[in-house]
Chains A and B, each alone.
Chain A
Amino acid sequence: MAELPTTTERFIQGILPENPVYRQLLGLCATLAVTNNMKSALTMGGAVTFVLVSANVITSLMRNLLKPHLRIVIFTLTIATFVTIVDRFLAAYMYQMSKTLGPYIPLIIVNCIIICRCEVCASKQPVITAAADAIGQSIGFTLAMASLAAVREILGTGMFFGLRVLPIAWPDWVIMVLPPGAFLTFGILLGAINWIDSLRAAGTGKK
């Protein structure tokens, strides 16, 4: 069996080299749906971080008890529990935000990033590694959400975190805050990242 990555490798991989959104293209439903402003994008990032870290830690603690054919049930059960906690918590303490995010919080249950980390890392490696992996992936996810939301909020409304950053004369590109804007922004950012990557690969090839 191939050697599994170490704790540090797991942590770093999640942030950029294996970024869940830009590299693995996972969890795109939530990514495209709630990135039309920074506040909801970061709340979503926070919610996913909590669920991912908790689910990874719990799964890792149980990893020796898992039966291969019952593991997915257990992952889903664990994830659903933490998602419900987040959902109730938001409804109690961040009521307006919970209404804005609406069904996308319960939908974290089926976010493949989390089940993927349980399967790939937490069910095979010790707690510390699983936690580092979850934190790395969460940072990667939150950064990706923030990058999309920054572009969409600034171009779509001329504002950033609800504060005006572009001159009042800026013709708000309303399409950027609507669903098509999500696809346009994501496509362009993904293309840009791949282009930079291929330039770098060509650079190292010449040496």
Chain B
Amino acid sequence: MTALQMEQSFGQRLKNSNIVQAWLVLTLALLFGAALAGIQISLAPTIEANKINETRQKVPELIFGKAKAMEMAAQKKNLQVTSQFIAVEKQGKKVYYNIFKADLDGKCVGWVAKTKGQGYADKIELLIGLAPDAETITGLFILDQKETPGLGNKIVTEKWRSQFTGKPTGTRLTVTKTGVGTDTEINAVTGATISSRSTVNIINAAIGDLKGPLTAKAK
């Protein structure tokens, strides 16, 4: 084989190699990735503000339930909602929770904790309403989810969420598929066991972390 032939075969090999063929894909991936990062950075504060706004609106409902919250709004009894961060030490790492404290006439009437965790498709972001002593759950609201339409996304329905109201925080909640037996069991959404289990796990984790600090604060 002459040197020229070797050169050609090398050139040919280079041309046929997967990386060279995919140069456009790789360049585009980089370009688009950079563009999306820019958009995310510029829009993230607005999106976060929207969520905080919605959280503040949901606080009365999460603490008193929908009916009583509407009744209170009609009587113009407005809650004082203050936002704060609670740091929890977890496996050597500090985890921050955004907590909303609700006061009525200077007295603490409950807490709303914002938390998130992995669902079936993407992160599930939710709000948990807790009694002032953090002993019972007073409500649940799903802030953001991308679960399967028609199955997993039923976790946002009021019917499913209402199961959590009044549950004690002393023991971990569990998911059941066969109907609720004890008062720490939650019925899974039909066909969406993973979404249901993820939601319950996120709640268990948040309550595990926050129960101590909140009880201490309420005193």
> Which positions in A face B, CB cutoff 8 Å?
33, 62, 65-67, 70, 73-74, 77-78, 80-81, 84-85, 88-89, 91-93, 95, 102-104, 106-107
Min C-beta distance of B105 to chain A, whole Å: 31
Residues of A within 8 A of B149 (CB): 33, 102-104, 107
Minimum CB–CB distance from A142 to chain B (whole Å) comes to: 21
Given contacts A85-B39, A102-B149, contact A65 B50 (CB under 8 A): no
Chain A hits for B147, CB < 8 A: 103
Are A74 and B39 also in contact (CB < 8 A) when A91-B50, A95-B54, A103-B146 are?
A: no
* CB-based contact A92/B43 at 8 Å: yes
A3: min CB distance to chain B, Å: 28
B205 within 8 A of partner (CB): no
B46 at the interface (CB under 8 A from A): yes
Chain B hits for A106, CB < 8 A = 146
- CB neighbours of A95 from chain B (8 A): 47, 50, 54
7 tightest Cβ-Cβ pairs between the two chains A and B = A92-B46, A81-B32, A95-B50, A92-B43, A91-B47, A88-B43, A92-B47
21 interchain pairs, CB-CB under 8 A: A65-B24, A70-B21, A70-B22, A74-B24, A77-B25, A77-B28, A77-B29, A78-B32, A84-B36, A88-B39, A88-B43, A91-B43, A92-B43, A95-B54, A102-B146, A103-B121, A103-B146, A103-B153, A104-B149, A106-B146, A107-B149
* Interface core residue of B146, B148, B153 (most chain A CB under 10 Å): B146
Closest A residue by C-beta to B24: A65
Are A85 and B22 within 8 A (Cβ)? no
Chain B residues within an 8 Å CB radius of A107: 149
**B36-70 CB contact bits vs A (8 Å, 1 = yes)?**
10011001001100100010000000000000000
Name the CB-closest residue of A to B23. A65
B35 within 8 A of A: yes
CB distance from B154 to the nearest CB of A (A): 12
Contact B36 A85 (CB under 8 A): yes
Residue pair A92, B146 in contact (C-beta under 8 Å): no
Q: Which residues of A contact B21 (CB under 8 A)?
A: 67, 70
Interface of A is mostly: helix
For B50, what are the chain A residues with a Cβ–Cβ distance below 8 Å?
A: 91-92, 95
Residue of chain B at shortest CB distance from A62 = B24
Residues of A contacting B29 in the complex (Cβ-Cβ under 8 angstroms): 77
Chain A residues with Cβ below 8 Å from B121 are: 103
A88 surroundings in chain B (CB, below 8 A): 39-40, 43, 47
Residues of A within 8 Å of B46, CB to CB, are 92-93
Q: In the complex the two chains form, what is the Cα distance from A85 to B36 in whole Å?
A: 7
**Chain A residues whose C-beta falls within 8 Å of the C-beta of B36 in the assembled complex:** 81, 84-85
> Which one of B40, B43, B54 has the greatest number of beta carbons of chain A within 10 Å?
B43
Q: How far is the CA of A12 from the CA of B125 in the complex (A)?
A: 44
Q: Give B163-214 interface residues, CB cut-off 8 Å to A.
A: none
| CB of B24, distance to nearest CB on chain A (Å) | 5
Closest approach, in angstroms, between the C-beta of A70 and any C-beta of chain B? 6
Looking at the assembled complex, report how far the CB atom of A172 sits from the nearest CB atom of chain B, in whole angstroms: 20
Known A78-B32, A92-B46; further 19 A-B contacts with Cβ < 8 A: A62-B24, A70-B22, A77-B29, A81-B35, A81-B36, A85-B39, A88-B47, A89-B39, A91-B43, A91-B50, A92-B43, A95-B47, A95-B50, A102-B146, A102-B149, A103-B146, A103-B149, A106-B146, A107-B149
